[in-house]
Amino acid sequence: MKDYPKDYELPPDDDVFLFYPFDYKQERRRFKSVVSNTFKKRTDPLKGINFTEFVNSLGEPEILNLEKGKRFV
């Protein structure tokens, strides 16, 4: 919190982790516990589709034949 202005009241209230300077051992430990799960090997197969499959599922693009230079807004 030493990076925040003096008149700042509370840290943001949401589900984003807020880490204070790593001057303190408990902050380094907390950061490591959150980040370590990010780089674990996957144990379950991925679910869903990848971006290429999604784009291919959209089908052919629709040609609108708009008049060049004309504004529609």
Span 20-50, pLDDT tens digits = 677 888 888 888 887 877 777 888 888 888 9
What pLDDT does 27 receive? 81
Is the pLDDT confidence value at 2 over 70?
no
Beta carbons of 29 and 23 less than 8 angstroms apart:
no
Tell me the mean pLDDT in the region 42-66.
89
pTM for the model = 0.33
Q: Is the pLDDT of residue 12 over 80?
A: no
Amino acid at 73: V
3-state secondary structure the chain: CCCCCCCCCCCCCCCCCCCCCCCCHHHHHHHHHHHHHHHCCCCCCCCCCCHHHHHHHCCCCCCCCCCCCCCCC
